[in-house]
Amino acid sequence: MKKNKRITMDYLDICLQALIMAWRQVMEMSIKEALSRTEYGKGDTLALDAIPEIILEKCLTTYNSDIILITEELGKSAKSRILSGPNPERQEPVFFADPTDRSRFFHIFSF
């Protein structure tokens, strides 16, 4: 049990670091940059949505390349890696994130 608690604390630490980095990047973005389109994910994603997901993914996969991160943009490719077998101990950690899901509203109020 102690080993699992340590792993859980390590994941919590890396997730908090990733969230702080993503938050900082969003706060430093200009409105023009935030509203720009990117090639990330579905291909029509605004930077406001893409950049936090990219930062979260890089931080988590740098810590553990087997982590499964499911987001609005990355979800379909990750689903195939989730085990459906009877032994949950063999499952790599699965994280769900949608850090900024209000870009449509941001666009309306930014002008």
Query: Tokens in use for 58?
Result: 């890089």
23-71 per-position pLDDT tens digit: 999 999 998 888 888 887 777 788 888 888 889 889 988 988 888 787 7
Please determine, for residue 74, whether its predicted confidence score (pLDDT) is greater than 90.
no
Please determine, for residue 16, whether its predicted confidence score (pLDDT) is greater than 80.
yes
Q: Quick one: pLDDT at residue 104?
A: 62
Neighbours of 42 (CB within 10 A): 12
Burial class (CB in 10 A: 0-12, 13-18, 19+), 29: middle
Q: What is the pTM of this model?
A: 0.71
Is there a contact between 44 and 73 (Cβ–Cβ < 8 Å)? no
CA atoms within 13 A on the CB side of 70: 12
